[in-house]
Structure 1
Amino acid sequence: MSGTDPAPARKGLFEFLDSKFGFWLVTTLFVAVWSSSYAAIDRYMHKDEAERTRAAESARRDMDAVLKVVPLLFADDAGQQDLAVKLLLSLRSKKALEDDSLALVQAVLDARLKTGSGAGATDNERRQAALILKAEDGDRIAAIANPTAASATPAAMPPTLAVARQLNDAELPPRVYLQIGDEADRDVAKRLRSAFASANVLAPGIELVDARHTPDRSDLRYCADKLDASALARVSAVLQQSRVTVANRPLPPAACRSVRFNHMELWLQRGASAAASG
């Protein structure tokens, strides 16, 4: 008979198992395996309950966060109101909440936006609406600030944010972002901003851009298929009454990928102040 006789090996194994150390090692391994298996089975049997508990705790934390922020919207101090809007926008953009809570936050923001874009809105309400709109138009604003990066394909909206967003593009109010390439033109931009407010057109802000990107002649930029005709007419009427001559400049489709409904940009030529007073 060829090969190694297994009898000595079996004998050695049995002797090892009969020893105190061998017995301790085997029983320890057995207990460890059993405990691990039992824990795994227990987790499997109660996984639904654990998930429900986790979800309930997460929802509670989310609601606590929202309930702490929302009252600031109705504070007497305008700074606290603005802070509340910024905190809600931050919670939304960072996906710091569950989907249901994100939807609640978006509903609150929608309500503030609707109030701030109404004809009877106060200065505080208009300012809050402007903050919200700047967040809604963030992709396009970033593209204006960095034209080189804007040529790349824009990143897709995070799925959670897409689910939470309740705002219908068609409901966004008309708004005009003013672009200047020279601080000397800020005064005429401020006058136009006030004129737009009187016509119930939001002008969220005045942005100083690289003078090399300003046009030789002031122009109004927009996406033709994302603009209500009445909104364009209102803006054109304000410009005419303000004696500011501009050329309408519809944006090409590639530039409209990150533009939302009723978004317009008034790009003022350098020396616009002198042109407006002339």
Structure 2
Amino acid sequence: MVSVRHKVVLAPVPYPWLVDALAAIRTLLEESQADERGLVLPDGQVIPDIRLARGRHLRPGSVYLIEDEDEDEDEGKDKDKDADASETVQITVGEWDHRRAVRLELALAADDMNVELDATLKSPDRPSLVEVSGRTRGDAKPRTLFDMAGRARVRLDDWWPAADTDRTPPSAPASARLDHRWIRADVQAVPRPSPSRDDGGWDLHVTVSLRGRRLLRPVAAVVLAVAAGRIRRSVIQSLDNLAARWNDRVPRLVAMNADQLRENLLSKP
């Protein structure tokens, strides 16, 4: 097994801002309409790439399709190869209740990969739990390289007390597991108040563990032991890059109130 522990410093997201932002997004969607033109926003703008394929707008069982085709215009390309790359996303509303839960099922079909996700936000009016599970299947051979399943959950009720008041949570508020046929990866994240930031930032303590699975566990153990140093450097670099992107974008979003966020969403359909 290889275990990596690393700390990153993140700009904070106030819980009241999250509540207001989710309400703004939900209200914008509920005030929109779906017809043969696509998704019609409250100001009349139309997003033509999103089409209601079945059911009524935002009702349980409704299905939306998002289709994207990239045409290759390079005349120098080999004509025997596919010139077009297509991608279709199907979104099914499993539940839409701002008091109880919002659950969406997403299925992405691309030329070389299929992805299925099931995402749930409990009590959106006062968000308490986020759960995501999913699976990927590759069309390329050998398919075992791309077939994976995973799940993640964030207990929001425990996240902010730990991040803002240093209250010790019963377990890591954020956790994830990714299972490949050969390897299992477990991730746990615990936030703490950051003494290095003046804005009430967070020190995020992340632990990533990798281990072999099934009959290949002994072989995987040897491979992981040999590559342990490279794996640790790669994980740390990835976490640092994610933190840098977070700290570049999140403060600008948090600076917006609900009305400004709505205007920003309407200006970028």
TM-score, normalisation: structure 2: 0.24
Q: Which has the higher contact order (CA 8 A, sep 6+)?
A: 2
- Greater gyration radius: 1
The structure where strand makes up a greater share of residues is 2
Q: Larger % of helix: which?
A: 1
